[in-house]
Amino acid sequence: MNLPAQLKLLVIDDDDIDRMNVERMLGKSGDDGRDYRCVMTRSKAEGLAALQAEQFDCLLLDFRLPDGDGLELLAEAAATRLRLPPTVLMTTLNDRQTALKALSLGAQDYLVKGEFTQAMLVRAIQYGIQRDQLVQERDRLLRELQTAIENIKTLKGLLPVCSSCKKIRDDSGYWDAVDAYIVKHGLATVSHSLCPTCIRQLYPGMADKIIAATAAQERRTNQRTTE
């Protein structure tokens, strides 16, 4: 999947030198033709406020923060249903358990401070964004599949139809006209016209002309659709 030419990143790190290093590395990464714009914050509270106020393409999150740690931020975001951008956790701890915990809470990658290069940082950011795009696309397809399955169930199920007015009862107990039911459940788009039998009953003196004109109009519409 393609990445935009400009990427907006949120950096949550209380260490001035580490923030400067990240900004310097990303400033030198112009080889790929992308502009990395960093918004800097120094605490978990500042970071959460920024995440709630703005949209970011990626989050670079320090593990140790003055008012908590990165894992707590990930957990709080999940608990409050705050959708985080693709997240890369940065820490001085080369600890497998911390890395696994971060990944289980939604982080896309894990970098050890002092050990990653400019190329590794850029790769973690770009791969994280691409993986997040794939997850969103997967979720969208799953939602569409679920909707299609529900529509199939509706079509295959037993529909209660009034024997007098021909309305259909839905799952909530409301009675809808057939066309309204079809539109409500997304089964098709409805257009209204008269069948030949009703035309002859309503307009007996002009029925043949109306039927012929309607058929001609339908042929012209079909031709435009197939062109």
pLDDT above 70: percentage of residues in the chain: 88
pLDDT score of 60? 97
Question: pLDDT tens for residues 31-56?
Answer: 667 889 999 999 999 999 999 999 99
Structure tokens at 175: 């009675």
| DSSP secondary structure string for all residues of 78-136 | HHTT-PPPSEEEEES---HHHHHHHHHTT-SEEEETTT--HHHHHHHHHHHHHHHHHHH
Let me know the angle formed at the C-alpha of 20 by 19 and 23, rounded to the nearest 5 degrees: 90
Q: What is the mean pLDDT of the chain?
A: 85
Q: Where along the chain do its domains lie?
A: 6-137, 168-226
Report the pLDDT value the prediction gives residue 30, as an integer from 0 to 100.
Answer: 55
Q: What is the pLDDT of residues 134-164, one digit of tens each?
A: 888 998 998 888 887 777 666 666 677 777 7
| Amino acid letter, residue 183 | V
Homologous superfamily of the 6-137 domain (CATH): Response regulator (3.40.50.2300)
Q: How far apart are CA 147 and CA 206, in angstroms?
A: 45
122 within 8 A of 3, measured Cβ to Cβ: no
Residue 131 pLDDT exceeds 60: yes
- What sign for the dihedral angle of Cα 216, 219, 225, 227? negative
